[in-house]
Amino acid sequence: MGDQALTEIARRLVDAVRPGDTVARLGGDEFGIVLAPAFERDALTAAERVIAAVNQPFTAGAKEMTPTVSVGIATARPATMHPDSLLADADLAMYFAKRSGRGRHAVFTPAMRTALVEQLQLGEELRSALAGDGIEVHYQPIVDLRSGAVVGAEALARWQHPARGFVPPATFIPLAEELGLVQEIDAQVLRRACEQGQRWRAAGITDLRLAVNLSGRNLEDAELVERVMRILRETEFPADQLELELTEGVSIAESARASSLLEELHQRGIRLAIDDFGTGYSALGRLRSLPFDRLKVDKTFVDEINGAGGRSSLLETMVHMAHVLGLEVVAEGVETPAQEEYLRQHGCDFGQGYLFSKPVTAEELSAVLAETQPQAAAQAG
Ligand code: C2E
Ligand code: MG
Ligand code: MG
Same domain, yes or no: 149 and 97: no
**Domain end: 108, 142, 157, which one?**
108
Q: Give 134: exposed, middle or buried? Use CB within 10 Å, 0-12, 13-18, 19+.
A: middle
pTM (2 decimals)? 0.84
Residue of the CA atom closest to atom 10 of ligand 1: 359
Cα distance between residue 92 and residue 70, in whole Å: 11
What's the CATH number where 59 sits?
3.30.70.270
What's the CATH number where 247 sits?
3.20.20.450
Residue 56's domain comprises 2-108
Q: Give the torsion sign (CA, 77, 79, 81, 83).
A: positive
CA of residue 359 to ligand 3 center, whole Å = 13
CA of residue 154 to ligand 2 center, whole Å = 7
CA 250 to chain centre: 12
- Ligand at shortest distance from the CA of 303: 1
**Domain end: 58, 76, 108, which one?**
108
Per-residue pLDDT at 375? 54
Same domain, yes or no: 11 and 135: no
Same domain, yes or no: 147 and 100: no
Same domain, yes or no: 22 and 132: no
Most informative mutation of 139, 156, 343 for ligand 1 (most atoms within 8 A of CB):
156
Per-residue pLDDT at 266? 97
CA 123 to chain centre: 18
**Domain end: 65, 85, 108, which one?**
108
* Ligand 1 pocket list (CB less than 6 A): 140, 156-157, 168-170, 173, 182, 185-186, 189, 213, 215, 245, 275-276, 332-335, 352-354, 359
Q: Is residue 113 part of a domain?
A: no
Q: Is residue 209 part of a domain?
A: yes
- Ligand at shortest distance from the CA of 296: 3
Same domain, yes or no: 31 and 170: no
In this structure, the dihedral spanned by the alpha carbons of residues 300, 303, 304 and 309, taken in order and rounded to 10 degrees, is 180
Radius of gyration of the chain (CA): 24
Cα distance between residue 136 and residue 192, in whole Å: 8
**β partners of residue 138:** 156
Q: Is residue 116 part of a domain?
A: no
Same domain, yes or no: 305 and 159: yes
CA of residue 276 to ligand 1 center, whole Å = 9
Per-residue pLDDT at 356? 96
In this structure, the dihedral spanned by the alpha carbons of residues 378, 335, 303 and 213, taken in order and rounded to 10 degrees, is -20
Per-residue pLDDT at 104? 95
Per-residue pLDDT at 148? 95
Same domain, yes or no: 145 and 233: yes
Cα distance between residue 291 and residue 283, in whole Å: 15
CA of residue 375 to ligand 1 center, whole Å = 30
Q: Is residue 115 part of a domain?
A: no
CA of residue 132 to ligand 2 center, whole Å = 24
CA of residue 85 to ligand 3 center, whole Å = 41
Same domain, yes or no: 334 and 252: yes
The helix/strand/coil state of 354 is coil
Per-residue pLDDT of the chain (381 residues; tens, 9 = 90+): 888 999 999 999 999 999 999 999 999 999 999 998 778 888 999 999 999 999 999 887 778 888 999 999 999 988 788 999 999 999 999 999 998 888 999 999 999 999 999 999 999 999 999 999 999 999 999 999 999 999 999 999 999 998 999 999 999 999 999 899 999 999 999 999 999 999 999 999 999 999 999 999 999 888 999 999 999 999 999 999 999 999 866 567 778 888 899 999 999 999 999 999 988 766 777 778 889 999 999 999 999 998 667 788 889 999 999 999 999 999 999 999 999 999 999 999 999 999 999 999 999 999 988 877 655 545 555
Per-residue pLDDT at 249? 63
Q: Which helix (H) or strand (E) holds 189?
A: helix 182-202
Residue of the CA atom closest to atom 34 of ligand 1: 213
Cα distance between residue 170 and residue 22, in whole Å: 39
Same domain, yes or no: 35 and 132: no
Instruction: Give the chain's domain count.
Output: 2
Same domain, yes or no: 168 and 103: no
